[in-house]
Amino acid sequence: MQDMELLIEETHRRGLRLILDIALNHTATEHEWFQTSRRARKDPRLGKRDWYFWSEGKLDEFGNRIPPNNWESTFTGSVWEWDELAGEFCAYFVILMLNLGLTEDQDLHIFGKNQPDLNWDCEEVRKELYSVLRFWLDKGVDGFRLDTMNLVSKTSSFPDAPISKEGSIWQPANYLFANGPHIHEYLQEMHEEVFSHYDCMTLAEMSCGVSAPEAVRYTSRFNARPELNLVIQFQHVELDCHDGDKWMLREWELPELKRIINEWQETLVKNGGWNTVWMENHDQPRGISRFTTNSPRFRALCAKLLALWQFTLQGTNLIFQGQELGMINPGLFSEDMNQDIETIQYWKAACEEAGSEAPHKLELAKKAIIQKGRDNTRIPIPWTEDPHGGFTDPKAKPWLPAFDHGGEWCHASQRHSPESVWSFYRSLITMRKANPTLASTPFERQAYPLILTWL
């Protein structure tokens, strides 16, 4: 805690503000709340039984106990996981396939077998989470990035999702656990109970889809009961997904991107909302590789072009580490190098499906990982020309190997070059701060179908 307090103090001393990334939708299975909840079925005196989603499930035609519905997790398999100790299923909506040796109930987990979802329908849960937020605000943090915030209200009757994936037991059910029936009620309550009493900012990640009109409901200053300041939407980074499948690569065309930009820029501003403008984060590949080309000849030009795109749109800019250096995807595949659990699970499933008779399917899977894998933005950024890019001791082994971008791309070189990508980003930030109308002026589209242009 002393480290955190020092970070807050030094951040403020430099005229900066600190936004804390926090997950209110789920906890770890190791958390005291979950450990109490899973034991409370046999000993109700412990409390917290309804702090998570538990279900006895149902029996199949052979008398085997199975999950209560066919909802598919964000990563793989059912959202429900059997818990031996509890004797029920628990819900985890985004499954991370980790064998934690959990001991009988199934719980609901959207985000991983080690990340069970909290039951926001339980008032005690909400009050406890509000207390957590106040704790950090009282410590001096200036706001929060609220992870997967639009998932905190589920359709609690847990109906089966319609069949959209032929041949699969588990079916996509995003609309049943995202932007749910009480989401606005809970966000309004959270604002009134917590955020309205502090000078702070709220930035909410909207997982599993949110439209521009829906974003207005979350962020509009015209709302009688305020909810959030900003949302992070994903429509522009889903253009290269086929029918919502991240790993099924799809070619897209410029008019599609323009349509998304136009809708978000126009809809939010006209209705009292506010945009976030971004292209990279810890869950996405590098923007240069995704939207342009990795060609060394055009790399710097493409990096500056994308920066210009971001910094001249209306809204708040979000920049991910290394973006200001023009980092690209390494463009390499090695099974041993994969550290991201999502990628590991996808590769395992691809190998099982392909077997020895369809090697071409593995090549497609490799291509998808090279292009879309989350480790692309999780490798160390190049601070210097030293081993590991100066990220750590030369003799150390980092979590992921640093990619050799070449000396001219490291931070130490770029900060001294007026023509570098880093210097270009710095100029854009300076220009935007000196001209606040760039962030607030209403967007005006121009009718050139094959050119991305606006006023």
The rounded distance, in Å, linking the Cα atoms of 46 and 58 is: 26
Choosing from 72, 117, 205, 324, the catalytic residue is 205
DSSP per residue over 379-406, as a string?
SPP--SSSGGGGSS-TTS--SSPPP---
The fold of 26-119 is: Oligo-1,6-glucosidase; domain 2 (3.90.400)
Domain positions in the chain are: 26-119
Choosing from 104, 121, 128, 147, the catalytic residue is 147
Beta-carbon contacts of 336 under 8 Å, excluding residues fewer than 6 positions away, are: none
Beta-carbon contacts of 343 under 8 Å, excluding residues fewer than 6 positions away, are: 369, 373, 374, 375
For 356, counting Cβ atoms within 10 Å of its Cβ (0-12 exposed, 13-18 middle, 19+ buried), the class is exposed
Terminus-to-terminus CA distance in the chain, angstroms? 47
pLDDT of residue 100: 32
Mean pLDDT by groups of 10 residues along the chain of 455 residues: 98 98 95 96 94 94 92 82 91 53 50 82 98 99 97 92 88 89 98 98 92 96 96 96 90 93 94 96 97 95 96 95 97 87 89 82 94 95 94 92 89 97 98 87 72 68
Q: How many CA atoms lie within 13 A of 115 on its CB side?
A: 17
pLDDT of residue 208: 80
The rounded distance, in Å, linking the Cα atoms of 243 and 47 is: 42
Give the three-class secondary structure for 22.
strand
**What is the phi/psi pair of residue 255, to 5°?**
-55, -30
Element (H, E) at 110: strand 105-110
Angle, CA of 438, 444 and 450, to the nearest 5°: 110
Is residue 324 flagged as an active site residue? no
pLDDT of residue 103: 38
- Cβ atoms 227, 170 nearer than 8 A: no
pLDDT of residue 112: 52
pLDDT of residue 94: 55
pLDDT of residue 442: 73
Q: List the alpha helices (DSSP H) in 277-420.
A: 287-291, 299-311, 341-354, 359-372, 411-414
Beta-carbon contacts of 452 under 8 Å, excluding residues fewer than 6 positions away, are: 254, 257, 258, 261, 309
pLDDT of residue 111: 55
Is residue 83 flagged as an active site residue? no
